[in-house]
C-alpha cells in the first residue's frame, strides 16, 4: 500500500518510530508489559492534569465507541437520569447507547453548527431534579465544532451532577485540566491526538465516582468498574489486550512530550487548521462552522458549486497520496479535512497545490 497522508480525525498519519514499536511482540502476563501498562496509565493522568490520589486511568480494548459504551454501562444505575447534549453523530450515538440500556435520559438536540445555550441547559436541570449526569462530546468530528467544556463542566459542578466528557478527538491536542474542571469521566482513544494507532481507548475517572459503580454494568466485557479493579492491582488487563498497539502508544506519548506537550501540539494543530481554512477560502471552499466554535482538529467544507463531485475529487487526491474524509451532513453537501497526526505545514502546502491542480483539470 502507498503511505497515504490521512486527513482524518483518526486513524491518522503516524510517525515511523510509532509504527516500528509494533514490530515487537509482547506477552500480556509479563511483568515488563504490565509495567508498561501502568506507566501509560500514570502518563495519561499527567497529560490530563489529574492527580493520582483522586483520579485513575482505565484502559479498555476496542474502538472509541466501545469505551464510551463501557462508561455508560458502568456509570448509570437504574436510578440515574442522564442529560445528553447532541449536536453531531457522536452525540446521537451516545443517545442510542443509553436507549439500548433502557436508562432514563433527556436528549438535548441542537443544529449541527450550534453549541448549547448554557442558560437553557440550566433551566432544564433546575426543572428536573432527577437528572444525575450530563454527557457531551467535546470536539464533534461530525463537523469539527468545539463544545464549551468549561461552561458545561461548571453547570455540572453547580448542579451537583456528574459529568461525562467524550474527549475522543480533543484529549492530547487541546489542553484539558481534568482536576480543575472536576470531570467525573473523560474518554479518549489511542488513535487520536496522542497519535497512536487504533486498538484501545481509555477513561480518566474520578476514583470516588468509580467506586460507586459496582454492579451497574449488564455486560461483562464492557464493565469499566471490573476492568479498573483488575488493572489497578498490577496493570493486568482482564482479557487479551492489543499489545502491539500499547507499545506504539507509549512511543506516541514520548513523542508528544518531545514536541513540548499538549500546549505545543495544540499550537501546531491550530496553525495548520488556520492555514487550511484561509487557503481553502481563497479557492472557493467555505467552512461550515463559524470561526468562534471551530476546533483545531477537523474542518467541514461545503461543496463550492453544484457541479462538484466529491468521489472524483477524493480519487484524485488519493492518487496523490492524500485521503480526505466524506461529509456527515445529511442535508448539506460537504466533506472534511482533518489536520491531526504527523502532518506539517509542507503537507498542507502540497495539499492546497493539488486541489488547485484538480480545479484546473476538471474546470470547477
Q: Which residue positions form the known binding site for substrate?
A: 336
C-alpha triplet 166, 262, 156: angle, nearest 5°: 35
Q: Which residues are annotated as part of the binding site? A: 336
Q: Give whole-number Cα distances, 275 to 4, 132, 202, in Å.
A: 21, 42, 31
Grid cell 462538484 — which residue?
Answer: 308
Dihedral Cα 125, 128, 133, 138, nearest 10 deg: -30
SS3 state at 273: helix
Which residues make Cβ contacts (< 8 Å) with residue 49, sequence separation at least 6?
176, 177, 178, 179, 180
Angle at 66 between CA 183 and CA 12, to 5 degrees: 90
Residue 263: CB atoms within 10 Å: 10
3-class state of residue 130 by DSSP:
coil
Backbone angles phi, psi at 189, to 5 degrees: -140, 155
Q: Classify residue 289 as exposed, middle or buried by CB count within 10 Å of its CB (0-12, 13-18, 19+).
A: buried
Q: What's the CA gap between 136 and 140, in Å, rounded?
A: 9
Q: Beta-strand (E) ranges in 141-274?
A: 145-146, 162-166, 185-189, 200-206
Amino acid at each position: 500500500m502507498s503511505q497515504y497522508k490521512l486527513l482524518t480525525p483518526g486513524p491518522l498519519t503516524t510517525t515511523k518510530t510509532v509504527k516500528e514499536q509494533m514490530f515487537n511482540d509482547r506477552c500480556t502476563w509479563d511483568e515488563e508489559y504490565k509495567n508498561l501498562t501502568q506507566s501509560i496509565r500514570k502518563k495519561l493522568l499527567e497529560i490530563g492534569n489529574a492527580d493520582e490520589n483522586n483520579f485513575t486511568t482505565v484502559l479498555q480494548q476496542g474502538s472509541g465507541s466501545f469505551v464510551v459504551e463501557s462508561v455508560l454501562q458502568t456509570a448509570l444505575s437504574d436510578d440515574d437520569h442522564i442529560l445528553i447534549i447532541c449536536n453531531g453523530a457522536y452525540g446521537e450515538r451516545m443517545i442510542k447507547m443509553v436507549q439500548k440500556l433502557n436508562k432514563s435520559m433527556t436528549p438535548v438536540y441542537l443544529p449541527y453548527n450550534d453549541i448549547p445555550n448554557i442558560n437553557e441547559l440550566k433551566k432544564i436541570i433546575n426543572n428536573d431534579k432527577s437528572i444525575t449526569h450530563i454527557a457531551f462530546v467535546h470536539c464533534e468530528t461530525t463537523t469539527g465544532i468545539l463544545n464549551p467544556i468549561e461552561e458545561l463542566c461548571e453547570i455540572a459542578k453547580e448542579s451537583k451532577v456528574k459529568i461525562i466528557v467524550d474527549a475522543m478527538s480533543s484529549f492530547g491536542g487541546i489542553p484539558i485540566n481534568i482536576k480543575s474542571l472536576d470531570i467525573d469521566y473523560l474518554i479518549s482513544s489511542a488513535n487520536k491526538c496522542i497519535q497512536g494507532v487504533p486498538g484501545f481507548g481509555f477513561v480518566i475517572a474520578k476514583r470516588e465516582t468509580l467506586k460507586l459503580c459496582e454492579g451497574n454494568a449488564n455486560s461483562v466485557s464492557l464493565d469499566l468498574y471490573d476492568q479498573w479493579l483488575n488493572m489497578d492491582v498490577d496493570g493486568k488487563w482482564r482479557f487479551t489486550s492489543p499489545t502491539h498497539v500499547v507499545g506504539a502508544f507509549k512511543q506516541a506519548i514520548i513523542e508528544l512530550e518531545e514536541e513540548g506537550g499538549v500546549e505545543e501540539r495544540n499550537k501546531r494543530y491550530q496553525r495548520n487548521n488556520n492555514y487550511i481554512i484561509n487557503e481553502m477560502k481563497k479557492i472557493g471552499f467555505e467552512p461550515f462552522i463559524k470561526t468562534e466554535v471551530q476546533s483545531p482538529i477537523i474542518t467541514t467544507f461545503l461543496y463550492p458549486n453544484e457541479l462538484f463531485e466529491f468521489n472524483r475529487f477524493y480519487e484524485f487526491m488519493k492518487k496523490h497520496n492524500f485521503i480526505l474524509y466524506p461529509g456527515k451532513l445529511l442535508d448539506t453537501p460537504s466533506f472534511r479535512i482533518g489536520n491531526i497526526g504527523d502532518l506539517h505545514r509542507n503537507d498542507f502546502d502540497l495539499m492546497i497545490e493539488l486541489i488547485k491542480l484538480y480545479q484546473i483539470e476538471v474546470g470547477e
